[in-house]
Structure formats: C-alpha cells, structure tokens
Amino acid sequence: MTRPDSVSPPDGSSETSPEERVRLFDYAFETAIFGLTLVGADGCIFKSNRKFGEIVGRTSLKGTPFPELTHPGDVAPSLALFEEVLAGRRDAYRIDKRYLRPDGSAIETVLTVTAMRREDGVLARVLCQIEDVTQLRQVERALVERATQLELAMEALRGGFWDMDVTTRSFRTSERLAHFIGGPEAAHMDLNAYLAKVNPEDHEATNLTPLLEGEIDKSVAEYRLHTVAGERWMRCDRRLLRDGAGNPIRVIGVVIDFTEEHLRRQTLEMDADTDQLTTLYNRRGMQKKFQKLDRTNGVVVVTVDLDGFKEINDQFGHSAGDLVLIETAQRLKAAVRPHDAVSRLGGDEFLVVMSGEGCIADLIAGRIVEALAIPIELADGLVLAEGSVGGAWTHSASASLEDLMLQADRCLYQAKTRGKKNAVVCELL
C-alpha cells in the first residue's frame, strides 16, 4: 500500500485529489492501532482492518453479519442501537461489547459507532472503532473482587481501604473507612478530605509518588489519623496494580488502626533505651539521641562521676545508694536545659549530651558541680555525694560520641586530680 508521505499532488498544489484521499483513508484505516470496520446498512461488514481481524481471530470478514461475531448476550442491545442509526434517530453511540473468537472465547471491547451519511441523509456506511479492553476488564474485576474481600475482612478490623486511579488521580475511600473517620453518616472521602484528617507532622508518610510513577509495587506507611474516636495511629499497606503491559493503573491502600500496638512498641522501645532506676537514658538511648542531635552550633558532652558514692554505699547500704542515684538524676536534669539529654552509663557515672560550644559546656558543667554540692537528705541523715565533671565540645560534624566521651573522660581525670567539686572542659580538636 502506498504511504501517504509518498503521495504528492500531480499539479504541485496542496489540494489532494479524490484518489489520493481514498489512498490516505485506506492507509490510516489499515494501520490504525485499534480495530476498524465499515458496516453496510444490512449489518454486514464491508471492510475491516488487520487489527480487528486479530481481535476476533479471523482473516476473512467481508460480508460477515456483525451479529455472527457478537457474544449472544450482546446481540440484542447491539441490534437495537444499530436500528436507531438506520432510522436516523442517532448518528453515533459507544458501548461495551463482547466479540467471539473461533475457539469460543470472548473478547471484551469498547465499541464506538459513527454513521456515515450522504448529503441527503441516507446511510452509506457505519464506521466502527473497536478497542480491545479484555485485560483491563480482567484487572478491574480482580480489583472489585479484592475490594469486596477486603471490605469483608475490615468487618473484623478497625479501619478500611481506599483506592486511587493512576491516570486521573481520583481518590476514594471505602464507606467503612469514611465511617471510621467521620461517623456512620459520613460519605466517601476524596484525597483532600482524607489528608485533612492526617496529622500534619505525618504528611510525608502519605506520599504516593513512587507508587504512582511505578517505581515500586508496594509500601507501608504509619501515620496519625483524626477519627471519631480521636487521633489514632494507622498502618497503611499500599499496593500498585498494573495492566497486562505492566503499566500502573491503580493504587489500593488498606488502613488498619494499630494504636494499641504502637503504644506497646513505644513502651518497649522506651524501656530498652531507659535506665530502670533513674529513668534517664541508658547508653543505648543516649547513642540514638546523639545521632539525632542538631550539631549546627556545635556539640557538647559532659561526663559526671560522684566522688563520695562508694562511701555512702558502704555506710548506708545499696538502698540508700539507689536513692542518691535517683536524686542525682533529678538534679542533673534540673541543671541542664529542657532539650538536653541526660543518661546514666552505669554505677555512679552520668553523661550529658547537648548542642552548643565551649561557653555552654562551661556553664552547664558549673551548674552541675553546684547542684551536686548540696547535701542529700536520707532517712539516716544528710549525705554528701559531690561530683567531678569533665566536658568536651567540638564544631566537627564527624566527631563520634565515643570520641567526645574519651576526651571528656580525660578532662574528668584532670578535674579529679584537682580535688572534689571541680570541672574541666576542653575542645576536641
């Protein structure tokens, strides 16, 4: 067949001749990416392209009445609409239609019909465009089935599900999720309404971009959601559905209330990071705190060692020693700023980590020495557990907690050599 770009008007003008227009139509008709047929007023196929032959699994179609290719369940509605075209009551229509292949299998399509009439209105041909949507319909049915199963599963859970069309970006919650959020009278929610219920601090967790762009197929997010029962922690499992060609078509999310589990997990994590006697951070908790510390203006580490603790333990017993440690912890927290971190490393050793530089280190070290110089009242009388303090600070972003602790211990040793109630602070170079 002659390609349209190889055809040129014989007289050099931009107008095309009737013969050329026929060639152009034939070329476009035959090479279309969807099925095309021309049907006569008698309902028989006059002309079809290669793509339609592939859809219905046939090679010779001229003269075939279209009802012979149509699924029995779709013959009546197709004929009714075709009769309206013949009668001039409509010039076009679009329907879902199934065709049958020789092996009896059904192909699902979207059929668009356009009447081609002469100037006097008499029907000459009917142009039919047939788009194979079999795989798309299979995916849609699978989605509906999965959604139904999820809805049933949600009956036993607190939450619901939502789905989002990748192409249109339309978002819709299930009825159950809408009721969970807004109460029994609440309607389905769109994306803006849903996000308005998410805690603003957790909006980043709701980002769907990697899924919508097909970079990943699944992800899990945790965020706080305002519901009729108050703010609840929700876990959202998100899955991407693709069509037969692998293109993203829909994202579905299952949202489950796991507030109690979240609180239990928080408690376990807190216990793992906390010294049980003083409720200060332990070494593990302090390491995590150090990693999250804002080091823009430098970082300070202060080590504290109680000078008279052994004598108190020996004289009054371990119960009294525990009370001294508890009181020391309270005094250390009172001596530092609210956002500074205090930990007990073990025995009578304590550690303070904070943002800042040399002047802050000197100030806090001095406060700690003064706070620990005040006697502690026990049932058996007053005891004195004065402290020695060593501090280290740096502007280096690469300095580790271990590096700073080592330098602070060196300063602590210098403080002890000077006697009780002393502090030495130096910069880590």
User: Is the pTM higher than 0.75?
Assistant: no
Q: Pick the closest to residue 115 from 95, 157, 87 (CA basis).
A: 87
Residue ranges, the chain, pLDDT below 70: 1-15, 150-157
Domain boundaries 136-263, CATH class: alpha beta
State residue 398 phi and psi, 5-degree precision.
Answer: -95, -10
Count Cβ atoms below 10 Å from residue 146 Cβ, excluding itself: 16
Same fold, 32-132 and 136-263: yes
Q: Pick the closest to residue 340 from 405, 409, 294, 283 (CA basis).
A: 294
Q: Pick the closest to residue 234 from 159, 148, 125, 327 (CA basis).
A: 159
- The string of pLDDT tens digits covering residues 293-331 is 988 899 999 999 998 888 888 888 889 999 999 999 999
User: Which residues is 96 bridged to in the sheet?
Assistant: 110
Q: What angle do CA 105, 109, 113 make, to 5 degrees?
A: 130
Count Cβ atoms below 10 Å from residue 132 Cβ, excluding itself: 19
Domains of the chain, by residue range, sit at: 32-132, 136-263, 274-427
Task: Give pLDDT, residue 97.
Answer: 95
Architecture category of domain 32-132 in CATH: 2-Layer Sandwich (3.30)
CATH of domain 274-427: 3.30.70.270
The CA-atom distances, in angstroms, between 390 and each of 167, 297, 354, 358, 418 are 62, 20, 14, 12, 12
Burial label for 189, CB within 10 Å (0-12, 13-18, 19+), is: buried
d(C-alpha 183, C-alpha 170), whole Å: 23
Relative orientation angle of helices 318-335 and 358-372, to the nearest 10 degrees: 140
Task: Give pLDDT, residue 250.
Answer: 93
- The string of pLDDT tens digits covering residues 137-162 is 888 888 778 777 766 666 656 888 89
What is the distance between the terminal CA atoms of the chain, rounded to a whole angstrom?
Answer: 81
Burial label for 14, CB within 10 Å (0-12, 13-18, 19+), is: exposed
